[in-house]
Every structure is written in C-alpha cells, then in structure tokens.
C-alpha cells in the first residue's frame, strides 16, 4: 500500500470562499461515476478552483462538482465517490445549484435564489479557468491509499471542537485528541478516489481530498485547505 509519509500539523491555512455561483451543461468527459439512485449524480467532473490574493490573505481554494446533467455543488460535504445530491441539498443548500454553459460563460442558478455568471477558460474542451482563477482536476488516490499525518481537526471534520487534532496513520487508524494526545478517541479512515471517510466513536464524516503539486511540493488538499503533508 502506498503511503503518504509525513508531517503534521496545520494551522488553518486557507479557508475558501470562492465566488458565489457556478456552471452548466458540460462538453467534458466525466471523471466520476455514481450509483443508480436518483439522488446521486450519474456522471460529472470534480474541479479545484484557486485564486491567489496579494498580501497576507494568500491563496484560496474551493471544490466544484459539475454533473453532466447540469447540477453544481460547491465544496461537497458528503464526498464525491459517489456524490449524493440529496444529502448536499439537505445540509449544504447554499452551495447547490443548476448551471448552463454558454460559450465562454457559465450561468449558475443557486438553490437559494441567487444567480451568477462567470467567465470560463478552456484548453480544448476542458475547463481550465473560471472567474479569473485556474481550475484543475487533481489526481484521485487509489483505494487503500493511506496517510501518516496530524492535522488541526477543524480543517477536516465538520463538527470538531476547538483545540482538537486528528492523527491519520498508515495502518488506517484515526485518533482524535488534544494536541498532547490526551482525551483520545480511536477510529479508522479510508480513502477512495477523492473521498476521505473518517469514523470515530461511530460518527462517520467525509471530506474531499486530492493530490496537489505546487511550488515544487507534492502534497494533499483536504476540503479547502492545503495540507503541508509530504508525499513519499
């Protein structure tokens, strides 16, 4: 099993709040397949958007899932292998929308009633930029890929308490604890494609994960945070 050897902690690097809306019909090849349920997107593409701000704000990231049938989800909370549109609409409603691509523009109609139109950039028939920021499709990890790292838990888990850290080990175990290791809860995790699933004390949570190579570093991005984790 390949492992990610590496290091530890991350104070909250970049929290992403990308633009307010997104795209439509896709002339792109689908990279994700889902189950047969109506609530799941059958086909679509997962993109990582980024934007480099000047000064201390640094770089921001956001994930966008564009289904082939015109559904858009920003920063999915329940993984994308497969994507559950039903769950996203339940507790990520401000980030779900429908979209249409018209030439070099994407028209997004958010489920909260807002509408946004962004410019698009292409290489061939693949989207490479949106709203002045590059769009990429980070490499997915093979099933069974493991990490050896320690992160500030709030960057990975939706309901993590302040001061908690999450250790992900190369044997597939997960430990949620204080920074010094006290008050520890044991669990497990697995990675499938772009979905990181963590189970601790019976509580199952999912996060988006992708391979990221920037500035000569091979690392990972989890949710909308660049993690200083060295790849073997």
Mean pLDDT of 85-90: 95
Q: Are 187 and 138 in contact (CB under 8 A)?
A: no
pLDDT of residue 198: 98
pLDDT of residue 10: 38
| Residue ending a domain, choose from 136, 155, 171 | 136
- Is residue 127 located within the same domain as residue 148? no
As beta bridge partners, residue 115 has 109
Instruction: Using alpha carbons, list the distances in angstroms from residue 120 to 24, 76, 103, 108, 132.
Output: 11, 21, 8, 12, 8
- Among 139, 141, 149, 138, CA closest to 5: 149
The whole-model pTM stands at 0.80
- Is residue 69 located within the same domain as residue 93? yes
Reading the block at residue 113, the tokens are: 């009633």
pLDDT band at 17 (very low <50, low <70, confident <90, very high): very low
- Is residue 48 located within the same domain as residue 77? yes
- Is residue 170 located within the same domain as residue 131? no
- Is residue 88 located within the same domain as residue 163? no
164-193 pLDDT per residue, tens? 999 999 999 999 999 999 999 999 999 999
Distance CA 102, CA 24 (A): 8
- Among 42, 45, 49, 8, CA closest to 24: 45
pLDDT of residue 112: 95
In a domain, residue 203? The reply is yes
pLDDT of residue 42: 58
- Is residue 49 located within the same domain as residue 81? yes
Mean pLDDT of 19-25: 34
28-70 pLDDT per residue, tens? 333 333 333 344 555 899 999 999 887 666 789 999 999 999 9
Report the chain's mean pLDDT, rounded to a whole number: 82
pLDDT of residue 215: 66
In a domain, residue 20? The reply is no
Domain that holds residue 101: 32-136
Q: Are 156 and 199 in contact (CB under 8 A)?
A: no
| Residue ending a domain, choose from 108, 136, 164 | 136
In a domain, residue 22? The reply is no
- Among 87, 85, 80, CA closest to 98: 85
Domain count, the chain: 2
pLDDT of residue 228: 75
- Is residue 132 located within the same domain as residue 37? yes
- % pLDDT > 70, the chain: 79
pLDDT of residue 120: 97
Distance CA 101, CA 50 (A): 20
- Is residue 128 located within the same domain as residue 37? yes
Mean pLDDT of 148-173: 95
Distance CA 73, CA 79 (A): 11
| Residue ending a domain, choose from 136, 165, 195 | 136
- Is residue 129 located within the same domain as residue 147? no
In a domain, residue 26? The reply is no
């Amino acid at each position: 099993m390949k492992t990610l050897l590496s290091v530890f902690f991350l104070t909250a690097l970049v929290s992403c709040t990308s633009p307010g809306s997104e795209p439509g019909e896709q002339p792109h090849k689908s990279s994700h397949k889902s189950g047969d349920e109506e609530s799941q997107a059958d086909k679509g593409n997962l993109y990582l958007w980024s934007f480099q701000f000047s000064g201390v704000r640094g770089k921001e990231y956001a994930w966008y899932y564009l289904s082939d049938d015109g559904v858009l989800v920003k920063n999915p909370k329940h993984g994308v292998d497969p994507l559950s549109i039903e769950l996203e609409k339940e507790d990520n409603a401000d980030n779900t929308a429908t979209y249409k691509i018209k030439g070099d523009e994407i028209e997004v109609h958010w489920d909260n009633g807002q509408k946004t139109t962004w410019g698009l950039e292409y290489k061939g028939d693949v989207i490479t930029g949106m709203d002045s920021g590059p769009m990429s499709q980070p490499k997915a990890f093979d099933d069974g890929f493991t990490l050896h790292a320690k992160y500030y838990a709030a960057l990975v888990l939706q309901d993590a308490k302040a001061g908690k850290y999450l250790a992900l080990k190369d044997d597939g175990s997960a430990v949620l604890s204080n920074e010094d290791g006290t008050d520890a809860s044991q669990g497990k995790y697995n990675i499938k494609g772009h979905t990181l699933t963590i189970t601790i004390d019976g509580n199952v949570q999912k996060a988006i994960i992708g391979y990221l190579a920037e500035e000569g570093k091979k690392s990972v991005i989890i949710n909308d945070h660049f993690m200083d984790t060295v790849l073997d």
